[in-house]
Each structure stands twice: as structure tokens, then as C-alpha cells.
A and B are shown apart, each in its own frame.
Chain A
């Protein structure tokens, strides 16, 4: 049974001696010797254990785990296929090849279906080395893939954990910072109440600086708490009608709108799957910014939504001062500000919160802008419910 093909293969592999530990399930010593010889001939430096029954098989598996199991299909006291069950039970991923005197096609296919790697007839042992090589190769690929999957899962786990740790840290830190800060603000206030004008001018000034600083820090901490709360409060909790959200937002911003003579319009907005408070935060921050960062003209703000193939895309556009291209990424980072506090008040938390909310809801946020010619903040959200891919209600 040695075809030209197998001979060629033999020569190739004979050049590199491959060490192989095999476990033979075989009752016939002569057959076992033939198997070993076939492997030797093909360049395998093979070490074999030969067993005949389940007990010996299990024992050998545990004592010297083989790289491959070669099992006779028919044994007087055991069935070769049973070896497969033992391998599974032991949690071992070791390829098993059936080596049999006679095996019908149907049986052979059934064995492979059950998990045998391949089968080789005893009068065709020349095929065995190639079968084993392939089995080992496949196993290596398999374990490599498993390892990569495991590594990836571990990384995802670690990331999730460190993310949660960070959230927790931000929350606890800002929470615990409030208590001592409360003392600083209270006592600087008491100092200024009791000793204003009784010390010298410098003293009054210093006390003023101290209490301003403490007050600013209070706002920062509250912002940080608000930011970390976005993460703590989970995501999407129901359907939110963005039109209703806009009504609330305009009410909240009424004073700012009036003072700046702003014109805020909005088109037909969709119902989305999100958290209402968070959606309100997003629109309020974006519309509020559009009013705050106005140019010489009264602000004109337009809020629109359009349906793209996969999601809703919202836009909040204004005629304000715009943003230089080099800053369009920065502005979404916590506490990043582009202007002096006296120019435009604020701590640089609003857009960071918007970004976090958009991303936690499976969307994105970005800005399209040119200095001097207004900005258009855009963000996307998935259609309003996971079950409603069409999102047809608009």
C-alpha cells in the first residue's frame, strides 16, 4: 500500500526526527509492533505505552500523558471508542486515531462524528504518520486559538474590572473629599465674617482667595461626582421622547435664552431607548454650550435628528465662535477648557459627560466646526429599542 505520494512524504519527514509519545490501545502485540515500526519508518522517535482496558488506559493517561492515542476499534475487553469518553472525562484534548483491522464506512464516519480524529486500517498503516502529523498540527492550532481566546477574555475582564475600579475610585474620592472641603469653606467663611476689616488688607485678600478656591473645588468635585454617576447608574432604561426632553431643556435654559436673545429651534425628534435624565443632560449641555459660546450675534441654535441606516444621528448646530480643528478631540476630555474662566465660565465637564452618555448607550459624539463660523455637535444613538431594528417611529 505504499504509493509514490507516501514515499515522498516519508523521505521529507525522515530528515527531522520527531519525538512522539503515543498511547496504544491494542490487545495484539504484533499489531502494536507494526504500528511502532510504521511510525519509526517515517521519522517518529516514538515512545509507546500499550494498554488493553479502561483501567490501564486511565492510569497511563495520568502517569504519562501521550500526545496521541491510537486505539483498536475491537478489543476483547473494551471498545476503542470508549477511550474517547475517558479522554473527555479527564478533560484532555488529545487526538485519538482509530487503528482497526476492518471498519465499515458507516462506522468510521460515526466514530469521527463522535470525536475521533481519523481512522487508519491496519493494512494501510503507511498512512498513519501523516494522519498523526495532521492531528498534532490541528491540536496545536486549536490550543493556540483557545489560548488567544482565553487571553482576550482575560483582557476584557481586566479592562472591565479596572474600569469599574476607576468609577468606584472617582466616586469614593470625590465623595470623601467633600467632607474636609466643607470644613475649609465653612471656616474661611467664618474667618471672613468675623475678621473682615479687622486685620490688614492682605489678610482680607488672602481669605478671599482661599474661600474662592474652596468654592471652585466644591463645584469641581460635584462635577466629578456627576461624571462618575453616569457610569454608576447603568444604561438605557426605557423609551425617551426627545421632543419632551427638549421642552424640559428649553425651560431649564429659559433665563440663558432670554438674556442672550437666543433662538433655539428643533425639528421632529425621535423616541430613543435611553435614560431620560441622561438624555436631558446631553441636550442641555449641548444647547447650553451653543448659547454660552456665542459670537457677537445672538445665538441661533438648531436641534435636528436624522435616520441613518443603523442609528439616529442628532445634531446641535449654532452660529457661535466655533472651535479650531486642533481642539475638536480635546474638548470631550474631563476638565479640558479652551477659554479662561472669566471669558466663559465652566469646568469643562459638560462635553465629557455627553461623550460618556453617548458611548455608554452605544453611540458616538463628535463636532464639526470652523472657528468663527459656528459648530455642529453630532451624536448617534441606536434605534429606540433593541427589538425594533427598524426604529420606524419618527
Chain B
């Protein structure tokens, strides 16, 4: 896959969860341009085009970052902080997905500028519906922000 043509950056450390999300996305034909980062560190390397992703162009951000909260090393909240704290990446829509019901997490998520905060439904059908809704909304319905010319241009290029 050309990593400059990624629609969704899925950041999650558990393979079973990743498979479920991919399964749900595939059912809606939304899984063709998904890049999976195994932890927060890899997500940051991808987004900021460093390390193994040095060849990537930061002008081609994903249309959506699906971010798991609980991860080893760099957790979701830290990834969010970096994305929203950097001029070059702060307009990328980020959706936090968590099984946590802690209000604390939600509040700090929004404080850091998360675009959406979602609690993963326990029921698989509900989960599928939710992923479908998310994918369709952020990739089809939503228009990416025009504040950053380059980001916008990159979005249009596809």
C-alpha cells in the first residue's frame, strides 16, 4: 500500500481488536486504505514521517485517525496530544476509541482537542454499526478542514 494514500490510520495494540475493526470496515468497503499502527510510537512515526516512515510525506495525512486509548509505551492520550499540539497535524480528525468509561479520560480527551470520543460497544453488532457510522461519516460525509492549505490539497488529490 502506498502510505501516502491512507484514509484511516488505525492505532491499536491488540490484534483481535484490529481484526474486528477491519472486519467491520471491510463490510462497508472502507478498508482499502487503512494503515495499522501497533502502538503509539509507530502512530507518531507514521504521522510525522520519521523512522521507518521517513519516506512518507507529511502533506498526505490520513483522513481519520482511529486511536485506542490504552496502549503500551506511548498511550492514546499522548499520541492525541502530539497530533493536536503540532501545527502540521492538528487538523487531522482524531477519534478516540476506548472501553474506558472513566469520565476523566473523556474530559482530558476533549481538552486535548479530540474530534470524537467513543466507547466501544460490548455487543458486536453494535460495534459493527458504530464502525460503519464512523467510517462513512469521516470518510464520506465530513469535509476535511480548509485551514491548512496543504492538508486540504492533499485530501483533494485523491
Which size class do A's interface residues fall under?
A: 10 to 19
Interface presence of B33 (CB below 8 A): no
Tell me which residues across on chain B come within 8 A of A187, comparing CB atoms.
16, 20
Among B99, B100, B101, B124, point to the contact of A185 (Cβ < 8 A): B124
Q: Are B99 and A178 in contact (CB under 8 A)?
A: yes
- A222 and B23 CA atoms in complex are apart in Å by 26
Of all chain A residues, which has the CB nearest B101?
Answer: A175
With both chains docked as a complex, state the minimum distance between the C-beta of A390 and any C-beta of chain B, in angstroms: 38
Tell me which residues across on chain A come within 8 A of B23, comparing CB atoms.
190
Interface presence of A179 (CB below 8 A): yes
User: Which of B100, B120, B124 has the most chain A CB atoms closer than 10 A to its own CB?
Assistant: B124
Tell me which residues across on chain B come within 8 A of A178, comparing CB atoms.
99, 122
- A187 and B16 CA atoms in complex are apart in Å by 9
Q: Are B124 and A186 in contact (CB under 8 A)?
A: yes
Q: Are B122 and A218 in contact (CB under 8 A)?
A: yes
Interface presence of A304 (CB below 8 A): no
Known: A182-B120, A185-B122, A186-B127. 19 other contacts (CB 8 A): A175-B100, A178-B99, A178-B122, A179-B99, A182-B122, A182-B124, A182-B127, A183-B16, A183-B17, A183-B20, A185-B124, A186-B20, A187-B16, A187-B20, A189-B124, A190-B23, A190-B124, A218-B122, A222-B122
Of all chain A residues, which has the CB nearest B16?
Answer: A183
Which size class do B's interface residues fall under?
A: 10 to 19
The A-B contact count (CB < 8 A) is 29
Cβ contacts A to B, 29 pairs, < 8 Å: A175-B99, A175-B100, A175-B101, A178-B99, A178-B122, A179-B99, A181-B122, A182-B99, A182-B120, A182-B122, A182-B124, A182-B127, A183-B16, A183-B17, A183-B20, A185-B122, A185-B123, A185-B124, A186-B20, A186-B124, A186-B127, A187-B16, A187-B20, A189-B124, A189-B125, A190-B23, A190-B124, A218-B122, A222-B122
With both chains docked as a complex, state the minimum distance between the C-beta of B48 and any C-beta of chain A, in angstroms: 29
Tell me which residues across on chain B come within 8 A of A189, comparing CB atoms.
124-125
- A118 and B125 CA atoms in complex are apart in Å by 83
Which residues of B approach A to under 8 Å, CB–CB? 16-17, 20, 23, 99-101, 120, 122-125, 127
- A189 and B121 CA atoms in complex are apart in Å by 14
Of all chain A residues, which has the CB nearest B99?
Answer: A179
With both chains docked as a complex, state the minimum distance between the C-beta of B106 and any C-beta of chain A, in angstroms: 15
- A106 and B27 CA atoms in complex are apart in Å by 98
With both chains docked as a complex, state the minimum distance between the C-beta of A200 and any C-beta of chain B, in angstroms: 24
The 10 closest A-B pairs by CB, nearest first: A186-B124, A189-B124, A183-B16, A179-B99, A186-B20, A182-B122, A218-B122, A185-B124, A178-B99, A178-B122
Tell me which residues across on chain A come within 8 A of B124, comparing CB atoms.
182, 185-186, 189-190
With both chains docked as a complex, state the minimum distance between the C-beta of B16 and any C-beta of chain A, in angstroms: 5
Of all chain B residues, which has the CB nearest A229?
Answer: B101
- A179 and B124 CA atoms in complex are apart in Å by 12
Tell me which residues across on chain A come within 8 A of B99, comparing CB atoms.
175, 178-179, 182
With both chains docked as a complex, state the minimum distance between the C-beta of A35 and any C-beta of chain B, in angstroms: 68
User: Which of A179, A190, A222 has the most chain B CB atoms closer than 10 A to its own CB?
Assistant: A179
Tell me which residues across on chain A come within 8 A of B120, comparing CB atoms.
182
With both chains docked as a complex, state the minimum distance between the C-beta of B128 and any C-beta of chain A, in angstroms: 9
With both chains docked as a complex, state the minimum distance between the C-beta of A187 and any C-beta of chain B, in angstroms: 7
Interface residues in A160-215 (C-beta closer than 8 Å to B): 175, 178-179, 181-183, 185-187, 189-190
Tell me which residues across on chain A come within 8 A of B123, comparing CB atoms.
185
With both chains docked as a complex, state the minimum distance between the C-beta of B67 and any C-beta of chain A, in angstroms: 16
- A42 and B127 CA atoms in complex are apart in Å by 89
With both chains docked as a complex, state the minimum distance between the C-beta of A388 and any C-beta of chain B, in angstroms: 33
With both chains docked as a complex, state the minimum distance between the C-beta of A222 and any C-beta of chain B, in angstroms: 8
Tell me which residues across on chain A come within 8 A of B16, comparing CB atoms.
183, 187
- A73 and B123 CA atoms in complex are apart in Å by 84
With both chains docked as a complex, state the minimum distance between the C-beta of B13 and any C-beta of chain A, in angstroms: 12
Tell me which residues across on chain B come within 8 A of A185, comparing CB atoms.
122-124
User: Which of A178, A186, A187, A189 has the most chain B CB atoms closer than 10 A to its own CB?
Assistant: A186
With both chains docked as a complex, state the minimum distance between the C-beta of A184 and any C-beta of chain B, in angstroms: 10
Contact with B along A289-309 (1 / 0, CB 8 A): 000000000000000000000
- A181 and B125 CA atoms in complex are apart in Å by 14
Tell me which residues across on chain B come within 8 A of A183, comparing CB atoms.
16-17, 20
With both chains docked as a complex, state the minimum distance between the C-beta of B3 and any C-beta of chain A, in angstroms: 28
- A323 and B23 CA atoms in complex are apart in Å by 49
With both chains docked as a complex, state the minimum distance between the C-beta of B90 and any C-beta of chain A, in angstroms: 30
Tell me which residues across on chain B come within 8 A of A186, comparing CB atoms.
20, 124, 127
- A214 and B135 CA atoms in complex are apart in Å by 28
Tell me which residues across on chain B come within 8 A of A190, comparing CB atoms.
23, 124
With both chains docked as a complex, state the minimum distance between the C-beta of A375 and any C-beta of chain B, in angstroms: 33
